[in-house]
Amino acid sequence: MPDPARDSDVLLRADGIVKHFPIKEGIFFKHQVGSVKAVDGVSLEVRRGETLGLVGETGCGKSTLARCILRLFPLTSGRLTFDGADLSRLSRSQMRPYRRGMQMIFQDPYGSLNPRRRVGSIIGDPLAIHHIAQGAERRKQVQALMEVVGLNPEHYNRFPAEFSGGQRQRIGVARALALRPKLIVCDEPVSALDVSIQAQVINLLEDLQGEFGLTYVFIAHDLAVVQHVSDRVAVMYLGKMVEVAEVKDLYNTPRHPYTNALLSASVVADPDKARSRDRIILSGDVPSPINPPSGCRFRTRCPKAQALCATEEPMLKSGAGDSPSHVTACHFPVADGEKLASEKDTILHAVEGFLAEAPT
Amino acid sequence: MSLSTVEATASQVPEEPAVKGIEGRTPLQLVVARLRTDRVAIASIVVIVLIVVLAIAAPLIAGITGHNAYNANVDNGTDANGQPFPPGTSGYLLGTDNLGRDILVRIAYGARISLVVGVLATAIATVIGVVVGLIAGYFGGWVDNILARIMDVVLSFPYVLFAIVLVSVFGSSLPLTILVIAFFSFAAIGRIVRGQALSQREKEYVEAANSLGAGNIRVMFVDILPNLIAPVIVLATLLIPTAIVFESTLSFLGLGVVPPTPSWGNMLSDAEGVGFQAWWFYIFPMLFLLMTTLAFNLLGDAVRDALDPRAERIFAARRKTKAT
């Protein structure tokens, strides 16, 4: 049960968010033949002023979850509370007043800006939609926003095509900032940018957080970036949350085998360290979200999977000795210092098998 | 720098900065610049302008020559045997018809009909087509199913038969002609707009507009429509000659513009059965019809090339390779 005393601290609460996309067949009379279970029962809390990192590999439902949080489409089921208001069943027009409090920064700085509209009108769009400022007043506010995000206000009349990728992402940031939202969902805001530009945009986002008291949900697949910006990190796999923890807990003592595998795959700047490190290679591909595995969804690729994993779905719970904020959905969490089957082990195994079978 | 101080400094900046920054060329400026280098486009524009001038000057021509486009003029416009004058006879530059009316004056008035029908019908068809296509493509689902099927039906309709039925019910008139043409043309634009809207609505900028709280109408007309302007302009330019030919067809069949009002179509209809003797009855209306539709068609092609410079321009490429 949520603790009401701490509730004022929580800006956004998601309870069992489910989003299934129907798959339809038939030319004239369409009937549903299945569904893509993009997000399948995710619960999370975002506290005021924090940055919640959301990681997971491609196709695990991160972006769908972000769009669920912003109610860009109706939820299949689940409850979404933002700043005390229940948003889970509101219609498009009922949602409009709440959109002032929550904004989004998109992954693709090219696709997310309308190529036929001038930058001034793109950034001024939220002001126009919510009838905040008109005419010269709007222009003044837009130019102030452009200056805040580090754009030249004189470029007000330019088209998005005349800007570089990093500048375009700044336009997207300015647009998200225009309504002074409480929450900004950043959907891989830097993954389309050059590394040098990534740092600029991330620093900009951090500066803005301090200045405007923003709360971020920061989606990324780059673990180093997430580690740098986040206060807490949530790991997703195939539409489910597998581990949520404070950033230092997650990176130092990852409990879920999937988190371990993810962390072992991230790039380390020190080549000596990188060479000595064991990478955990997961076998197989991500199962299809149309027909996910029973029980624990990770069991098909998990080096620790046992019979229980196929029958019972693990719940998010805090392990013994971990801080209560560190929760893992695993029947057999990885203990401190435990080593999972790594790349070297797998190769050794294969060589041993080969030698055993070889005629002497 | 906090936002409030920035706002304060921004408000002190004069509205027009002394040194003007580099102003980007708008897409329209780019298109005009490309059109100006296209000789075919320039030629078609010249022809279209000449025909527009002819249409506007129709009463002037009637005044100078003293000839009336409408009333029979058998006493002055035909010879002693009641035969029409061939071109160049006694002040009739393009000859007279069997009622002694000046063909030049009638062609000038006919140009008015053709242009008014062409432009008005296309304008109506474009507005309806854009609205219907946007609604169908943006909303999708059953709305799209219904609207797309309606457009399919309209496109497969035997329009001449339909026009005959309408005229027999309401009587032929110019407004009815325009409406009939617009009705049978809108589906051509609607289908293209629908297809484009279907692809545009999946773009991330539409999602961005949704996340800002924009309403459906705003997303359709403020966000998506500007991205469809290029195909719509090309199609509308190409619809004008179709509408002009459509009007001529209807008038030729006696279903369009009512005589004695001259239109190129009913002038051709008057020429029925004259054979080779009175060739000027049909040659001149035909020439004007041909020139007008050809000019609009070529202009449409040129506009398409100018709007989409990536598309292969066969003739332009050949010209360039010759030059180098």
Instruction: Determine which of A90, A110, A114 to mutate to test the interface with B (most B C-beta atoms within 10 Å).
Output: A114
Q: Which alpha helices (H) appear in chain A, and where do they start and end?
A: 4-7, 62-69, 92-99, 119-129, 135-148, 165-177, 195-212, 223-229, 247-252, 257-265, 271-276, 307-311, 343-357
Tell me if A111 and B1 make a contact (CB, 8 A cut-off).
Answer: no
Domains by residue range for chain B, with CATH: 62-309 (1.10.3720.10)
- Please name which of A212, A257, A6, A252 lies closest in space to residue A101, comparing C-alpha atoms: A212
- With cut-offs at 50, 70 and 90, classify the pLDDT of residue A344: low
Structure confidence at residue A4 (pLDDT): 47
DSSP helix/strand/coil, B85: coil
**DSSP H helix total and E strand total for chain A:** 13, 12
Structure confidence at residue B323 (pLDDT): 45
Q: What is the Cα A348 distance to its own chain's centre?
A: 36
Structure confidence at residue A29 (pLDDT): 72
Structure confidence at residue B14 (pLDDT): 46
Q: How many domains is chain A built from?
A: 1
Least confident of A75-84, B170-179, B310-319: B310-319
Structure confidence at residue A221 (pLDDT): 81
pLDDT of B132 > 90? The answer is yes
Q: Which residues of A touch B208 (CB under 8 A)?
A: 104, 106, 112-114, 172, 175
CA distances from A189 to A172, A192, A204, B200 (A): 9, 7, 12, 22
In a domain, A156, yes or no: no
Task: For residue range A232-248, list pLDDT tens digits in order.
Answer: 999 999 989 999 999 98
pLDDT of A253 > 50? The answer is yes
B92 phi/psi in degrees, rounded to 5: -95, 95
In a domain, A151, yes or no: no
Distance CA A137, CA A145 (A): 12
DSSP helix/strand/coil, A301: coil
- With cut-offs at 50, 70 and 90, classify the pLDDT of residue B81: confident
Tell me if A157 and B205 make a contact (CB, 8 A cut-off).
Answer: no
Structure confidence at residue B19 (pLDDT): 47
Structure confidence at residue B23 (pLDDT): 58
B302 phi/psi in degrees, rounded to 5: -65, -40
Structure confidence at residue A126 (pLDDT): 92
Contact A130, A101 (CB under 8 A): no
Structure confidence at residue B208 (pLDDT): 92
Tell me if B205 and A104 make a contact (CB, 8 A cut-off).
Answer: no
Structure confidence at residue A206 (pLDDT): 92
- With cut-offs at 50, 70 and 90, classify the pLDDT of residue B13: very low
Give the range of the structural domain holding residue A239, as residue numbers without chain letter.
Answer: 4-101+181-357
Average pLDDT over residues A99-118: 90
pLDDT of A56 > 50? The answer is yes
Task: For residue range A16-43, list pLDDT tens digits in order.
Answer: 999 999 888 877 677 888 888 889 889 9
In a domain, A148, yes or no: no
Q: What value does the mean pLDDT of chain B take?
A: 81
Query: CATH code at A95?
Result: 3.40.50.300
pLDDT of B4 > 70? The answer is no
Distance CA A102, CA A184 (A): 6
What distance, in Å, lies between the first and last C-alpha atoms of chain B?
56
- With cut-offs at 50, 70 and 90, classify the pLDDT of residue B15: very low
Least confident of B149-158, B230-239, B307-316: B307-316
Structure confidence at residue B64 (pLDDT): 80
Task: For residue range B145-167, list pLDDT tens digits in order.
Answer: 999 999 999 988 888 888 888 88
Q: Any residues with CB less than 8 A from the CB of A90 and at least 6 apart, and which?
A: A71, A98
Among chain A residues, CA nearest to B20: A154
- Sequential DSSP letters for A57-104: -TTSSHHHHHHHHTTSS--SEEEEEETTEE-TT--HHHHHHHHTTEEE
Instruction: Determine which of A99, A123, A125 to mutate to test the interface with B (most B C-beta atoms within 10 Å).
Output: A125
- The minimal CB distance from A148 to the residues B6, B205, B223 is found for B6
Structure confidence at residue B48 (pLDDT): 92
Which amino acid belongs to residue B19? V
Instruction: Determine which of B3, B212, B227 to mutate to test the interface with A (most A C-beta atoms within 10 Å).
Output: B212
pLDDT of A360 > 60? The answer is no
Q: What value does the mean pLDDT of chain A take?
A: 86
The sheet that has A85-86: what strands, in order across it? Answer: A31-47, A10-25, A77-82, A85-86
Task: Tell me the residue length of chain A.
Answer: 360
- With cut-offs at 50, 70 and 90, classify the pLDDT of residue A304: confident
pLDDT of A83 > 80? The answer is yes
Structure confidence at residue B24 (pLDDT): 59
pLDDT of A161 > 90? The answer is no
Tell me if B226 and A117 make a contact (CB, 8 A cut-off).
Answer: yes
Instruction: Determine which of A28, A68, A116 to mutate to test the interface with B (most B C-beta atoms within 10 Å).
Output: A116
Task: For residue range A196-206, list pLDDT tens digits in order.
Answer: 888 889 999 99
Tell me if A136 and B227 make a contact (CB, 8 A cut-off).
Answer: no
Q: At CA A136, angle to CA A134 and CA A140, rounded to 5?
A: 100
- The minimal CB distance from B207 to the residues A72, A140, A211 is found for A72
The verdict on A112 touching B (C-beta cutoff 8 Å) is yes
In a domain, A312, yes or no: yes
In a domain, A68, yes or no: yes
- The minimal CB distance from A155 to the residues B21, B203, B210 is found for B21
Which residues of chain A from 184 to 243 reach within 8 Å of chain B, CB to CB?
Answer: 211-212
Model's pTM, two decimal places? 0.79
* Helix H or strand E segment including A335: none
Among chain B residues, CA nearest to A179: B212
Tell me if B229 and A116 make a contact (CB, 8 A cut-off).
Answer: yes
Strands A51-55 and A232-237: parallel
In a domain, A297, yes or no: yes
